[in-house]
Amino acid sequence: MRKFLILVLAASSILSSCSKDEQLETAEVTNFNALVTKASDLQATGVYKGTFASYDNENRGIVMIQINQAGKAQATLQFANGQETQLLADSQTSKSGLYTEVTFVNDVTSFRFSVAQDGSAPRVSGLELGTAEGSMKVLKETTRGPLLPISGTYTCDNCEIHPLLESGVTQTFNATTVSGGGNNEQQIVTQIILNGKDFGSSTGNTQSGCANSGGIRTCTIAGASATIIGTRAINWSGTHRFTPGGTSCSEVSGTWSFNSQYGLLTGTFISDSTCGF
């Protein structure tokens, strides 16, 4: 009888141990909290943020990609119309040479994400939003460089002088500021969709001259698109207003110009978020 009781207790202990191990393993796999740490700053694991847009200008928004220590990845897309979709990768991230790669797929959205093992050079390819192809740009968020992605649009005031453009048509102008937009001299990565292409730029866009007033920080932003024809590019400038730290509402607005072969084109851009400052 004693032997039987000992066997039962031993079996119960093993089952309890296995159950706890499975719970810990499940918790590790599904845990996407607290991923921005000094330890992950130089690893593929962590958080990546940015913006996305379809080339037909029908969809745009901001994105967050998370890779946890268990090698699981999830992506959250927040559309400008208020909708949100979350994609959990079906399989763990795979390591191909010096890069970590993962594919996200659901009924309406799919894309491939890759990043170097040290967390540098994150890249998204093959973005599909419904039946439209698109572009997505992401950066790695670090303890020293929080990110603030902002989606928005631009319109043209006098594009009737250009045979391929129209006045008043809304197209995508997205921006991601580094360090949450909190300090002077910060870089800005843009998405500027024009005629089915992304002419945004990751260099030469700056934020400066920030000043606080009434709990609101106002900064000057300026930059240029990638070259469109020859050496010609869209030049833009405006204002970034937000609550310090970038954790609350943030909005941008401004003007742009493009010296085309048909004459000077001008217009405005504005973020989807309007804070009412």
Question: Which architecture characterizes domain 34-144 according to CATH?
Answer: Beta Barrel (2.40)
For position 29, what pLDDT does the model report? 52
- In this predicted structure, the answer to whether residue 180 has a pLDDT above a threshold of 70 is no
Question: What confidence tens digit (pLDDT) does each residue in 10-48 have?
Answer: 445 544 444 444 443 344 455 777 688 888 899 999 999
3-class DSSP assignment, residue 4: helix
**pLDDT at position 65:** 97
Task: Identify the bridge partners of residue 85 per DSSP, sorted by sequence position.
Answer: 77
Q: Could you give phi then psi for residue 121, rounded to 5 degrees?
A: 55, 50
pLDDT for 107-128, tens place per residue? 999 999 999 999 999 999 999 9
Cβ contact 224:238 at 8 Å: no
Q: Which are the contacts of 231, defined by CB distance < 8 A and separation ≥ 6?
A: none
Question: Does residue 8 carry a pLDDT above 50?
Answer: no
Each residue of 88-111: pLDDT tens digit?
887 667 777 788 999 999 999 999
Query: What average pLDDT does this structure show over 130-156?
Result: 94
Please tell me the predicted confidence (pLDDT) of residue 39: 85
- pLDDT value for 22: 44
- Provide the residue ranges of all domains of the chain, joining segments of one domain with +: 34-144, 145-277
Other C-beta atoms within 10 Å of 149: how many? Answer: 23
Q: How far apart are CA 153 and CA 51, in angstroms?
A: 12
Nearest residue to 134 (alpha-carbon basis) of 155, 154, 112, 156: 112
Question: 207 with 177: CB under 8 angstroms?
Answer: yes
Query: In whole angstroms, what is the distance from residue 29 CA to residue 106 CA?
Result: 20
